[in-house]
A = this chain, B = another copy of it.
């Protein structure tokens, strides 16, 4: 028996616990065969705030740091929107990314021909789409300093109150995410589309220069560039043209979500959040869906896929990741659909979908 992998389970709020439970069930079905793990749960989000007064307790951060991987559910609850920004549930997401040194968000979006019917796009536009969005997750206007409120120092609105933030990327910061994207492209169709706004932003000009420089190490990868507005258009009109998309934190936020909706449900694609360490964080990437919480109707597949990504990227078990992914595809081919997936032949609940994946694993 191999040593047990330590998995931190941060289920969070809303449907988080329900979808994580299904992913854990799938992992449990793989126990044995040289694979074992130990689960350690910790509070995060609105639940953690109610328990401890902060959405991200230090003990949760420490447990995550002491683990081989983090399986993350979802956090967020509009009932806490009146709190100071630093106490809102979503703040835990930014805090975890920072604490774990996660600077790469890899979201894979694929639309197999037989699921194209689920997409808001016409089947002929999306069938066969397979896009990986590599989003830088640490820098950009998300974390640049200074930021806040002040009296406008100049311009036609001088003297008024203004909100301001600093957008920025340093060369090394772009370099490390560019390598992640080029390496991913090499494992796929060797096409990388860099997205920025170099026609307007100084930040983007440094970003693009560095990406072009890193490209010299990957002569086998075809590099193209699009401005963020054009990229959004192409993603909607011709998604099949993309293989890997590389973008900074802000554009990547918008584009990875736009891409995930092409599958027809944000309950399908999963994200791997990675840093320099082997330890990554894995999540469905959708919200807490409070309106359907505890009704056993949420789609657990994105979270089950997140568990597969965890096996691949943090636990060294690509073989088991592939088995889970094949099982997910199998149940979808069988026609099983949770309520979010329109047009399905057999609508099932959260638990039944998890059970079906377990059955398909065998």
Residues on the B chain within 8 Å of A62, using CB: none
In the complex, are the beta carbons of A154 and B163 less than 8 A apart?
A: no
Residues on the B chain within 8 Å of A229, using CB: 253-254, 256-258
A333 at the interface (CB under 8 A from B): no
- How many chain A residues touch B (Cβ–Cβ < 8 Å)? 64
Cα distance A254–B166 when bound, in Å? Answer: 20
Assembly stoichiometry (copies): 2
In the complex, are the beta carbons of B261 and A237 less than 8 A apart?
A: yes
A82-99 interface mask toward B, CB cutoff 8 Å, 1 = contact, 0 = none? 000100101000100000
In the complex, are the beta carbons of B266 and A254 less than 8 A apart?
A: no
**Residue among A121, A147, A163, A169 with most chain B CB within 10 A:** A163
A118-133 interface mask toward B, CB cutoff 8 Å, 1 = contact, 0 = none? 0111100100000000
Closest-CB distance, A143 to chain B (whole angstroms): 8
Cα distance A86–B182 when bound, in Å? Answer: 31
Residues on the B chain within 8 Å of A233, using CB: 257-258, 260-261, 266
A288 at the interface (CB under 8 A from B): no
In the complex, are the beta carbons of A164 and B168 less than 8 A apart?
A: yes
Identify the stretch in A12-20, A25-33, A199-207 within 8 Å (CB) of chain B at 4 or more residues.
A199-207
Cα distance A141–B255 when bound, in Å? Answer: 19
A160 at the interface (CB under 8 A from B): yes
Cα distance A120–B237 when bound, in Å? Answer: 6
In the complex, are the beta carbons of B165 and A203 less than 8 A apart?
A: yes
Cα distance A250–B253 when bound, in Å? Answer: 13
Checking B167, B236, B255 against A167 with a beta-carbon cut-off of 8 angstroms, the contacting residue is B167
Closest-CB distance, A233 to chain B (whole angstroms): 4
In the complex, are the beta carbons of A165 and B168 less than 8 A apart?
A: yes
- A to B CB contacts below 8 Å, 25 in the list: A85-B199, A90-B199, A120-B122, A120-B238, A141-B141, A144-B164, A147-B201, A157-B173, A162-B171, A164-B166, A164-B202, A164-B203, A165-B167, A165-B201, A166-B167, A228-B253, A229-B254, A229-B256, A230-B257, A232-B255, A232-B257, A233-B260, A236-B236, A236-B258, A236-B261
